[in-house]
């Protein structure tokens, strides 16, 4: 569609007034002594002819199309997908942590009670946080043996709470013990019991996702050998916080069911917002399992993982 010279002059004037000066159609109509409906028609013709063009400045860091498709496909609240090619989990750690920090800063509001799991990507997220509101930051898992200190949940709750001047609620105990009586005694200890009571009232849980298919899980590497074999025989594919699951996202029985000193999978199910941060080729199947099992409400991942998930 071509516009004649006089029409073009009028169309440019109308378009500038409407899109740049933010004047209403009625105001423009009055200024130009034409009808409001004529103004609307001129704007439509200006767009159709290419006289007016729109540029949407997408963030190169985020793949908005994959984010929207993933959200719709798995019926979750939101997905945020890091742009880029297929990549290994280790190469994505810092970028996913940084992106997750921005997402968390946007979601969390003053006074929330937020559970924090453990792991490398959560440590990267904590490093990237710049501002948070006042929060109750609750340690969701006991300490894993042999885990680097900066990745452990005890350290993470203090680091994250400090960003917003909030209050940390740590539990200085391991993730599990190997004796049922010991577990029961520790869970009755007042400071531990107080934190466990908070698990029933969390607004948000922030966690990573571990893979047991191609082992990219801190839990896999620290499980006692007999326990590890038991859950592998049971079809374990992934872990999310303290939940072990198969490829369909269904719970896999494990000694943790009796000996865990951390949040239970049943308590995870009751949390309104579960933010999972995970990506990389080794974790494709594990991330898919958490989505199939409806464990996640917000997923921060990479483009390679998103493409895999959408191909299922």
- Give the sheet arrangement for strand 210-211, strand by strand: 210-211, 238-240, 243-245
Is the pLDDT at 307 greater than 90? The verdict is yes
Banded model confidence at residue 57, pLDDT cuts 50, 70, 90? low
Strands 298-302 and 273-277: parallel
Contact between 219 and 185 (Cβ < 8 Å): no
The residue ranges of every structural domain in the chain are 5-49, 64-311
Tally helices (H) and strands (E) across the chain. Answer: 15, 10
pLDDT on residue 146: 63
For residue 1, pLDDT over 60 is answered with no
CATH class of the domain comprising 64-311: alpha beta
pLDDT exceeding 90 applies to what percent of the chain? 75
Q: What is the pLDDT of residue 214?
A: 79
Residue written as tokens 């924090």? 116
Q: Is the pLDDT of residue 294 over 90?
A: yes
How high is the pLDDT of residue 128? 95
Q: What count of other Cβ atoms lies within 10 Å of the Cβ of residue 75?
A: 9
Q: What is the DSSP letter of 79?
A: E
Convert the pLDDT of each residue in 10-24 to its tens digit: 888 899 999 999 999
Mean pLDDT of the chain: 91
Residues 250-262: tens digit of each pLDDT: 999 999 999 999 9
> Which residues is 301 bridged to in the sheet?
81
Judged against a pLDDT cut of 60, whether residue 90 lies above it is answered with yes
Residue 251: DSSP 8-state: B
Instruction: Report pLDDT for 28.
Output: 93
pLDDT tens track for 213-261: 877 788 888 888 899 999 999 999 999 998 999 999 999 999 999 999 9
**Residue of 56 and 43 predicted with greater confidence:** 43
Domain 5-49 adopts which CATH fold? Arc Repressor Mutant, subunit A (1.10.10)
């Amino acid at each position: 569609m071509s516009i004649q010279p006089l029409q073009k002059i009028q169309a440019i004037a109308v378009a500038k007034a409407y899109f740049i000066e933010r004047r209403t159609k009625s105001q423009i109509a009055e200024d130009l002594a034409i009808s409001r409906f004529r103004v609307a028609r001129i704007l439509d013709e200006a767009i159709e002819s290419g006289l007016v063009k729109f540029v949407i400045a997408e963030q190169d860091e985020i793949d908005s199309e994959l984010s929207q498709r993933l959200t719709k496909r798995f019926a979750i609240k939101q997905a945020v997908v890091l742009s880029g090619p297929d990549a290994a989990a280790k190469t994505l750690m810092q970028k996913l942590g940084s992106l997750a920090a921005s997402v968390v800063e946007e979601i969390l509001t003053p006074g929330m009670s937020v559970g924090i799991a453990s792991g490398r990507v959560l440590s990267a997220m904590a490093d990237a946080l710049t501002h948070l509101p006042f929060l109750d930051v609750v340690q969701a898992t006991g300490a894993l043996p042999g885990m680097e200190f900066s990745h452990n949940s005890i350290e993470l709750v203090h680091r994250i709470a400090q960003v917003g001047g909030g209050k940390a609620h740590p539990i200085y105990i391991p993730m599990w013990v190997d004796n049922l009586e010991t577990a029961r005694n520790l869970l009755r200890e007042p400071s531990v019991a107080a934190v466990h009571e908070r698990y029933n009232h969390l607004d948000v849980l922030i966690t990573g996702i571990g893979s047991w298919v191609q082992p990219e899980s801190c839990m896999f590497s620290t499980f006692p050998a007999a326990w590890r074999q038991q859950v592998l025989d049971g079809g374990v594919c992934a872990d999310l916080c303290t939940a072990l699951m198969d490829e369909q996202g269904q719970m896999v029985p494990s000694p943790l069911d009796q000996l865990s000193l951390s949040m239970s999978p049943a308590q995870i199910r009751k949390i309104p917002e579960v933010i999972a941060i995970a990506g990389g080729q080794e974790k494709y199947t594990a991330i898919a399992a958490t989505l199939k099992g409806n464990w996640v409400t917000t997923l921060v991942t990479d483009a390679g993982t998103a493409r895999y998930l959408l191909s299922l």
